[in-house]
Structure 1
Amino acid sequence: MVNSTSYFRSLTLLTILVCFCISSCKKPQVDDRNNTALDQVVLIIDKCPNYSSTENPETGVYSSTADDFEITAINSELWKLSYKTKQIPTLDTVVFQTKGEFLELDHIYKFYRHLSFIVQKGDTVLFTYDQDFPKAEILNREVSYEELNYDFIRSNYLLDDFKALDGNSKFNVSPVSSVKGYITIRDPLKQKDIRSKIYQDALEEGRSQLEREILLLDSLVSQGLMGEDAKSLYLKRASVLNQFNEYRYNEYLRENFGGSENTLVEWDIQSTSEVDLARFGYYNTILDYIERKTYYSRVGWIEEVNRRYPDYRRVYDSLKTNEFLAKSEIDRLLTKNIELIIEHFPQKDSETYLKKFAEDVSNPLLVQNVLNKHRYALSAEIKEWGRRNFEFANLSDSLLQLSLINTSNEQFDFNKLLEKHRGRLVYVDFWASHCVPCYAAMPYSKDLASTYKDQAISFIYISIDTEYERWLWGMDKAEISSYPNSFMVNKEAANNSFLAQLEINEIPRYLLFNKKGELVQYRAFGPKTSEIREVFDTYLN
């Protein structure tokens, strides 16, 4: 048990240190780091805006902009780093590990707006917020405001009204419905001419925007506000994204909206680049597009009540056989897909693909990172395999903590609840009284429970509501008040690591535990799918 006195003493010292760092940023600091700078970038987030949940009065759907505040980066090992804000504005510090000389930070804020910041290994970066817009400052190296905050400058320069672009990945394309008379036109050739004009205008806009950005970069360099290295990276981004948009809108002009056999053949930007583009967020957006365009229509979809997703196992297998992407691009996409397999498919499939992944990628650190991040969804056997083969794998067997209350307002521990149902499969349904898709899924959930009522399966309903009376009202509406295994998360509990570690940040969400109480499907199939019945039957037999 942690000694509270020493804890608060350490906390006080940390606060003083952080305050010192912040005060020192008022004057530009000369970079006194030697050539062996730490393999990391330190981020200090100074009270990001508190984006609270809001309810749409017409649909009853809640949305939370807090979940959309995120800072991501892809390090030199091609591992995606991520920081999500706390729900309460606070001073926070996070460390991103990287061995590369620079790191692109992609700051997502206010729903889906993006700003990118290119920093160097060893930097300490302070983020402050002016009218909710993120601004960055390096505390231990002298760099101009314009170079570091170039994306903000660029967006103001290129657009009449400020709209933070996601790396300039989209041109401003007017919807065809806005063209006067389009809806009443019945001639397909005339409709096509109108669409072609819209796409041609978008292409011209993109070319003009690229020319203006080149002028802006040249101007900043000539004024001594940006170095040549930074200009080269920003210019590469502008050029690559312009080529991508040229490619994409030329496809639209050909009316090629479906999957394309030539998608990978026609895209060869990486082969002409002097830097590994797979380390940049904007280029990963392009890779994701190519992946969707090339594979998703072929592998089949899994349909949930409120979403659908492709069979990531088949996407993974397809990626291994392509001949056009660079090795770093393949490693990045395989890493993304192995995480999605672990999240969405049963443990047996996940662990089969984990061993494939260890053979397929060139950097064992990627395997180690996947093992560490998803350790709570792995079996004891695969953890032991990880410890034997990967020296720094952190595969602790510590139990996740989740405190619950029942309809009598009595407190329960989730791990003890699992122990109570040992010898039975446990299917957990996370929901809330404000969640419209949850109500839509409930009939399927009750039908599933009825189908397996004589089998060794327990169905547990856990609400993430914050108000006890609201939860009781929601159970009545969902018609599950009589169900014995209904609980609400105890928000007063000191430690509910379960929700954060398993990323229970969207609902409905389902988990599946085997008869030993081990988590075997991190993001279990929903009750509407045929796949969940197949998984049940497999574990029951």
Structure 2
Amino acid sequence: MIKPVKLALVLALLSGCISEPTINKEPVKSATIIFINPIEQSQYQLPTGSKFGSESPNYFWFVNSVGVLEGYRPGGITDSILIPTHDLSHIEFLHGYSALEDVGFLVKAGDTVTIKYNANGYPVLQSNISAQLSGCYNYKLPFRNSHKYFGFDPVAIYTNYYFMRINKAKQNGEAIPEIFLKDFIDFVKLNDDITANWELQRLTLDSLIEAKQVEPVYGNYQNYTTQREQLAVAASNKYFAYDAEAFSRIDNMYKEFFNDSLVAYASYHRVLKAFIHHQARGSEVTMIRTRSGSTFNYPEVSEIIKDRVDIPKQTKELILYYTLEYIVNFFNTENTKEYSDMFLKETSDTLKFQYLSQLYNMGIQPSNDLLLKSLDNAQIELSSLAKKHKGKVLYIDFWASWCAPCRASMPYAKELRNEYKGKDVVFIYLAFNDREKEWRETIQTLELDSNCENYFIVNPKTSKMVETLNVTTIPRYMIYSKEGKLVNPNAPGPEGAEIRELLDRYLGE
């Protein structure tokens, strides 16, 4: 039951959101987003000490001019980015919040939007067109309760694996460590709050639209958001029991949700990525061991999706694109070539394929060595790098900006570098299966710019050395001797005494 007092309060807070007059003119091609003192959103720690970390350093997401999801990480005191509007009157982007939640915002094409952050680090938008539009952009803000669910939207908690697992364990009567038990949230009460929140948001926007204080597009957007969240909640309910009945029910929800008119929305692309894993689980696709670890057999998933005739055309092509991206990320060159050809045959979308090829350096020819690119774009092979530093011990760290364990080890890595500063040890960091833009940005964030050398691996997919060294998971550490020979292909990480004992030993030889 929605309390009238609460509804009246929300209406009062949003009453300034008055519709702008509509003028018939050519579609505006972009919106400008300005970040003021952007706050790092890639990590969050609960009051109990439990930590969350996102796989990507990016926390701003939009659909780029190619038509696929692109991430951005603002930096400095102020930063800005131009996002395409795809000939729509309003465009959606996602802004991460404390590594656990992605918040969707719908902004007007042609506007210059300034993003500032409240005391909790939550993004608050300001329109350059009018204060009334600012109210529209922030219409979700009054619904947030900073004193419940650690300040997150209840749907974000409900669909988070950590909280799902604790709730399931308690339901099953499993023994739960005390520290995790403190993070327990009653999902029955949580589900009630989610349902009440949806209803309150609908009533509020309906009232404002009827009073002509909010453009109808925001009512449509809220309906879309609610349907998207209902899908996510339904999938979470069946996460630990994804049987045939659950798959069929959720698959029907996906089919009802799919709509090619939504392909410019960033959150829609997130749904399409989730659908790939829904398809993999529901079709009982096997988990296989690849060069990057254990993962779904995405080539098999791609074949299943290709043969489906119940998915709208543009939506299906995007799903095939993201499935191909998973194949590029996790599988070998032969798989990549085969399913690249399939993607082009099914979609004829050379623009998206060229974008993916550039993003992952897919055009690099096979080589026995690792081809490396330095921060100043100089290229060198790993074997040449070992020769260059002959007479010194090399401690090599394979890592990536998206790798949470890699990032967690960096404070220890900094301590180790400081301890061996001035000694004949060279610390080399090799970005493996990474994206160059994110790699460069993360180096600054993690303070990897002193007492070390940084290189981006240009050919992780085509280098035979990767297979020879058996680099399947990261972080991975190796040591080269003063003679330039690989003496420890599985060296310890930077924390602890073991690595120090080894480095001292090789320095003494």
Q: Is residue 95–residue 102 contact of structure 2 (8 Å, CA) maintained in 1?
A: yes
Q: How far apart are the structure 2 equivalents of 1:169 and 1:332?
A: 27
Q: How far apart are the structure 1 equivalents of 2:147 and 2:43?
A: 32
Q: How far apart are the structure 1 equivalents of 2:261 and 2:158?
A: 19
Matched, 1:36 2:26: yes
Aligned to 2:96: 108
CA deviation after TM superposition for structure 1 residue 73, in Å: 2.0
Structure 2, unpaired ranges of 5+: 1-17, 176-185, 387-395, 447-453, 474-509
2:417 to 459, 463, 469: 469
Q: How far apart are the structure 2 equivalents of 1:298 and 1:367?
A: 25
CA deviation after TM superposition for structure 1 residue 257, in Å: 3.3
Aligned to 1:378: 363
1:47 to 27, 37, 40: 37
Q: How far apart are the structure 1 equivalents of 2:250 and 2:40?
A: 45
Q: Is residue 210–residue 242 contact of structure 1 (8 Å, CA) maintained in 2?
A: no
Q: RMSD of aligned C-alpha atoms?
A: 5.4
CA deviation after TM superposition for structure 1 residue 227, in Å: 1.2
CA deviation after TM superposition for structure 1 residue 471, in Å: 6.9
Aligned to 1:99: 86
CA deviation after TM superposition for structure 1 residue 141, in Å: 5.9
Q: How far apart are the structure 2 equivalents of 1:40 and 1:528?
A: 42
Q: Is residue 124–residue 138 contact of structure 1 (8 Å, CA) maintained in 2?
A: yes
Identical counterparts, % of pairs: 15
TM-superposition CA deviations, 1:495-524 (whole Å, max 9, x none): xx98536579699x998777xxx9726996
CA deviation after TM superposition for structure 1 residue 334, in Å: 1.6
1:316 to 302, 314, 322: 302
Question: How many residue pairs end up in the alignment?
Answer: 410
- 5 Å-filtered alignment, 1:423-438, equals 429-430=397-398
TM-superposition CA deviations, 1:453-494 (whole Å, max 9, x none): xxxxxxxxx999446734749xx9xxxx99xxx53359xxxx
Matched, 1:301 2:274: no
Change (3 A) 1:340 1:157: same
TM-superposition CA deviations, 1:355-395 (whole Å, max 9, x none): 32222226443223323433x342269xxxxxxxxxxxxxx
Q: How far apart are the structure 1 equivalents of 2:57 and 2:102?
A: 10
CA deviation after TM superposition for structure 1 residue 267, in Å: 1.5
CA deviation after TM superposition for structure 1 residue 112, in Å: 1.6
Partner AA of 1:342 in structure 2: V
Q: Is residue 115–residue 164 contact of structure 1 (8 Å, CA) maintained in 2?
A: no
Partner AA of 2:332 in structure 1: P
Change (3 A) 1:259 1:83: farther
Task: Give the TM-score normalised by the residue count of structure 2.
Answer: 0.62
Change (3 A) 1:104 1:144: same
Task: Give SS of 2:144's match.
Answer: helix
Task: Give SS of 2:39's match.
Answer: coil
Q: How far apart are the structure 1 equivalents of 2:365 and 2:150?
A: 55
CA deviation after TM superposition for structure 1 residue 259, in Å: 6.7
Aligned to 1:340: 326
Aligned to 1:401: 374
CA deviation after TM superposition for structure 1 residue 74, in Å: 2.9
CA deviation after TM superposition for structure 1 residue 345, in Å: 2.9
Aligned to 1:213: 201
TM-superposition CA deviations, 1:173-202 (whole Å, max 9, x none): 7825556x9459xxxxxxxxxxxxx87766
Change (3 A) 1:352 1:210: same
Q: How far apart are the structure 1 equivalents of 2:204 and 2:265?
A: 22
Q: Is residue 77–residue 98 contact of structure 1 (8 Å, CA) maintained in 2?
A: no
- 5 Å-filtered alignment, 1:76-95, equals 78-86=67-75, 89-95=76-82
Change (3 A) 1:524 1:216: farther
Aligned to 1:500: 437
CA deviation after TM superposition for structure 1 residue 237, in Å: 1.9
Change (3 A) 1:489 1:53: farther
Task: Give SS of 1:339's match.
Answer: helix
Aligned to 2:427: 487
CA deviation after TM superposition for structure 1 residue 262, in Å: 4.2
Q: Is residue 117–residue 151 contact of structure 1 (8 Å, CA) maintained in 2?
A: no
Q: Is residue 93–residue 106 contact of structure 2 (8 Å, CA) maintained in 1?
A: yes
Task: Give the TM-score normalised by the residue count of structure 1.
Answer: 0.59
CA deviation after TM superposition for structure 1 residue 156, in Å: 4.0
Change (3 A) 1:380 1:161: closer
2:106 to 109, 118, 132: 118
Structure 1, unpaired ranges of 5+: 1-27, 185-197, 382-397, 404-412, 423-427, 442-461, 491-496, 531-541
TM-superposition CA deviations, 1:75-107 (whole Å, max 9, x none): 586411221133xx3211112234240321110
**Structure ranking higher on relative contact order (CA contacts 8 Å, 6+ apart):** 2
Change (3 A) 1:145 1:463: closer
Matched, 1:520 2:467: no
